[in-house]
Chain A
Amino acid sequence: MDWKRFSFIALVIIVLFGAVVMVGQSQQRPILIITSMLATTIAVATPLTLGALSGVFCERSGVVNIGIEGMMLSAAFFGWLAAIYMFHVFGFPIGISITVGALFAVITGGLMGLLLAVLSITFNVDQIIGGTVINILAVGLTGFLNRQLFFGKGSVFGGQVPNSPGVLPTIHIPIREIFAPLCSDSIICIENIRAINRVFDQKPIAMGAVLLVFIAHFILFKTRWGLRTRSVGEHPKAADTVGINVFKMRYANVIIGGCLAGLAGAYFTIESVPSFEPLLTNGRGFISLAAMIFGNWTPIGAWAAALVFGASQALQINMQLFRESIPPQWAFLQQSYVVGLAPYILTMLILTGIIGKTTPPAADGVPYEK
């Protein structure tokens, strides 16, 4: 990640935020708009961040993972399913049910990672095909089970989709408690601090994702594991000649990547909304890949890129709020799909490479044969 990339990211985020501030300033103070945008950005960037980290681990070890989308989708489904079973069938309390649900999502992702590893590392299946298999499998499997379990005749829940036990709670970071007393009863000041606090009050997976970015950076670039992971992704033969087991390293990293994609899946049905619908990941796995590439296969770069996509989604959400105040000459922005295109246009723009070329690991996508 070079300064050029980071300044591009900063620029895009400023433009996106600025657009909303300009439209909404007649109704809200800019700081409130900006903090609200930031909070949304971080929250909606969560699956992209985790998906991109998934890609980073897989591809740094030399396995292309275009199955992130499918891993997310299946994890979202099975996590959600586990939560429902725990709650409705086994009668566990809400907290335990959704925690187990999240755990199941991670395990599902890990198993999907294992499948990709078996296909691409043991059987040398073309890795693009392997990833595609996972994407198609996930769509088919979740769609089928969703129908059979909840909608089919004689299905477990008798054709009725039960309510999910709920979503993970927001964790409050006590910023306003600490800083509000310094405001000496200025209402605006207290309002501002509350607004800033909202940026930090996130749900567990969103917080975990940010934490994982830095953990992943540490692991990849500061530890023995990371050095070995990168070596098998750059020059597996060289790693082999110094006694590193290329296959084991790749297996482990692809499974780790799968678990991260699984956590991203949990975001959808355990953290964001308590329901599942077919195809709910809606291309976010692929946008994660774009973020990973734009971030030049580094965790922090990928996170920054994921935030850009998050911001463009936040733009879409916030523009809705201020629809009425969009000036007539910008009326097309009132159409939500126009704004909704932003992430996809950004993806294409970024992948064309006009913001500088990125370099994948040298052995990315190349099966290792002894």
Chain B
Amino acid sequence: MAQTNIVLEAKDITKQFPGVLANDGVNFNLRKGEIHALLGENGAGKSTLMNVLYGLHLPDKGEIYVNEKPVLIHSSNDSIALGIGMVHQHFMLIPVFTVAENIMLGDETVRRGMLDQNAVAEKVNQLSKQYGMDVDPLALVGQLPVGVQQRVEIVKTLYRDAQILILDEPTAVLTPQEADDLFRIMRDLTKRGVSIIFITHKLKEVLAIADRITVMRAGRTVGTVSPKDVNPEKLATMMVGREVNLVILKKQANPKEATLVVKDLHVEDDRRYPAVRGVSFEVHAGEVLGIAGVQGNGQTQLAEALTGLRPTQSGQVTLAGKDITGKTPRVITETGLANIPEDRQRHGLVLSYTIADNMVLCNYYRPPFANGVVMQPDQIDANARQLIKDFDVRTPSPFVPASKLSGGNQQKVIVARELSRPIKLLIASQPTRGLDVGSIEYIHSRIIQKRDEGAAVLLVSSELDEIMVLSDRIAVMYRGQIVDIVPAANVSKEYLGLLMAGVKLEDAVKSAPKQEKEIKVERVF
């Protein structure tokens, strides 16, 4: 017992959902004080396994051992009693409650019939001091930044004396700085004997922090490795089951005439403050123009204005020689726009519609999908089957509601719908946010393919890596204006970072002449 130090072991876990075998004989174990990463694509069965361990699902088959004793976990109460705590990807916090109320919920401290918030606050303060996690127990959770909310979740599990911590995709919602802070906390926790299961699909993080890595694919465990023995390519291959191109190969762009011309565009945000303030640029056929920038600098409003979803205050937008300023989305779409919106669930899909119906959202009213006012289900069905095949959408049938698909497959449905039409311009906003390696690779290659076919592509992304990999030219937005447009081939990440802070190179030189030599512009590729 002492030699192995295994605090949690799952043996041969099988869990069947209608239509999906989510876990198929999964084996997994966790040692005391280690960070064990569970890596896998969306839909590989990671979350199912964790929900089984946390008592949210009952396995059809298999055994669970905690501290080498067989246990039955029927509900979250059982797992909490066994010292297992889980931080869910979507936080299980109530925004209108205080931190203390959230932490005590389900395990309340009561004095004379009344909730004793002060006693809880005291214990929370003590815990946060002990583990170096700064949280104010009396703050309202809804007013806290995401990173702090996550800390509240961790404290919530420690409050219940959790010795085994499950973190489900904890970095998906964090900024890089917040993620670093989380990693520091995770290391602190393991030093104090807490064992952590870290679920993710981000390779770099795994290699940076994990002690061991278990990779899952299609409901099975592929293997458990040490980070010393692997590299990102090998992990990606284990995850996806084939070779993955982490570096995209693309030919030299061959730009032709200007497809999209934007002149002095002004757009307001929801609160009617100017969000885009006099932006002008062109996107040529056969090139990718990347719009980089820290989120909230007007990129979202720009994309919405160009796609007709948001009114413009002034300025002119021309698509393929046609003035589309202030036109409806349908007119713009028919002129030749494809749009991959930023929020795929709210603006890209009708979640309760079937995949087949989602795939004809832009042209359902035209033959062959409609004959006058009558829909043609056979055509819609045939179209869906073809696109599912062409774009590799993983779904049991075309008649599944879009809400039942994983994020990557949802995005593929959108990409299939938008890119299967003859288009002149593609506007892709955050096209791979929250997706796994395989889906990212696929969507990137599709975007480049469209460019090579002669479409103009406007890529809006806050992932600098993505911008640099895909773009031929990069426009950086800062406070509603374009600071500069630079060719992607000879710009450094550092210089882009400066532009994103609103500093143009000449300005930088002027404002800090002595540092001139330290600013180098290098080739990235």
Taking Cβ atoms with an 8 Å cutoff, the residues of A that contact B are 222-224, 227-228, 230-231, 234-235, 237-244, 362, 370
18 example contacts (A-B, Cβ-Cβ < 8 A) are as follows A222-B115, A223-B110, A227-B97, A227-B105, A227-B115, A231-B105, A234-B95, A234-B97, A239-B105, A239-B106, A240-B56, A241-B56, A241-B76, A241-B92, A242-B76, A242-B107, A243-B76, A244-B106
* B77 contacts A by Cβ under 8 Å: yes
On whether the beta carbons of A242 and B115 are closer than 8 Å, the reply is no
- Say whether B93 faces chain A, with CB atoms less than 8 Å apart: yes
Q: Report the nearest A residue to B86, measured CB to CB.
A: A241
Chain A residue at minimal CB-CB distance from B81: A243
Chain B interface bracket (under 10, 10 to 19, 20 to 34, 35 or more): 20 to 34
- Using A227-B101, A235-B94, A240-B76 as known contacts, list a sample of 8 further A-B pairs with CB atoms less than 8 Å apart, ordered by residue number in A: A223-B110, A227-B104, A231-B97, A234-B97, A241-B86, A243-B77, A243-B106, A362-B96
**Which residues of B from 68 to 118 have beta carbons under 8 Å from A?**
75-77, 80, 86, 88, 91-97, 101-102, 104-108, 110, 113-115
- Residues of chain B with a CB closer than 8 A to A227's CB: 97, 101, 104-105, 108, 115
Question: Could you tell me the distance in whole angstroms from the C-beta of A215 to the nearest C-beta in chain B?
Answer: 12
A42 CA / B139 CA spacing, docked (Å): 38
A222 to B108, CA, bound (A): 11
With contacts A224-B115, A227-B115, A244-B106 taken as known, whether A234 is within 8 angstroms of B96 at the C-beta atoms is: yes
* Mask: chain B, 155-189; 1 = CB below 8 Å from A; 0 = not: 01000000000000000000000000000000000
**Whose C-beta in chain A lies nearest to the C-beta of B104?**
A227
> Given A235-B94, A241-B92, does the pair A224, B108 have CB atoms closer than 8 Å?
yes
Does B94 contact A234, Cβ atoms closer than 8 Å? Answer: yes
Least CB separation from B80: chain A residue: A243
Docked Cα-Cα span, A224 to B106, in Å, equals: 9
**Which A residues touch B92, using CB under 8 A?**
235, 237-238, 241-242
Given the complex of chains A and B, what is the CA–CA distance between A242 and B86 in angstroms? 10
Task: Pick the residue among A223, A224, A231 that contacts B94 (CB under 8 A).
Answer: A231
CB neighbours (8 Å) of A242 from chain B are 76, 80, 92, 105-107, 156
Contact call B114/A222, Cβ cutoff below 8 A: yes
Residues of B within 8 A of A370 (CB): 56
CB contacts (< 8 Å) of B106 on chain A: these are: 228, 239, 242-244
Instruction: For B94, list chain A residues within 8 Å (CB).
Output: 230-231, 234-235, 238
Q: Which residues of A contact B88 (CB under 8 A)?
A: 241
Mark contacts of B191-210 with chain A using CB atoms, 8 A cut-off: 1 yes-contact digit, 0 otherwise: 00000000000000000000
Instruction: Specify which of B76, B80, B110 is in contact with A224 (CB 8 Å cutoff).
Output: B110
Are A243's CB and B75's CB within 8 A?
yes
Which residues of chain B have C-beta atoms less than 8 A from A224's C-beta? 108, 110, 115
Shortest distance between the CB of A38 and any CB in chain B (Å): 32
Residue of chain A at shortest CB distance from B91: A238
Q: How far is the CB of B445 from chain A (nearest CB, A)?
A: 37
Distance between B261 CB and nearest chain A CB, rounded to angstroms: 41
How far is it, in angstroms, between the C-alpha of A362 and the C-alpha of B93 when the chains are bound? 12
Residues of B within 8 A of A231 (CB): 94, 97, 105
Determine the distance from Cα of A140 to Cα of B417 in the docked complex, in whole angstroms.
52
Q: Please measure, in the bound complex, the distance between the C-alpha atom of A340 and the C-alpha atom of B107, giving whole angstroms.
A: 50
What separation, in Å, do the CA atoms of A231 and B93 have in the docked complex? 9
Do the beta carbons of A223 and B105 come within 8 Å of each other? no
Residues of B within 8 Å of A223, CB to CB, are: 110, 113-115
Nearest to A237 among chain B residues (CB) is B92
The residues of B that contact A244 with a CB separation of less than 8 Å are 105-106
Nearest chain A CB to B94 CB, angstrom units: 5
Taking CB atoms, residues of chain A closer than 8 Å to B96 are 230, 234, 362
B84 CB to nearest A CB, Å: 11
**Chain B residue with the shortest CB-CB distance to A363:** B94
Residues in chain B near residue A235, CB distance under 8 A: 92-95
Give, as a whole number of angstroms, the nearest-CB distance from A366 to chain B: 14
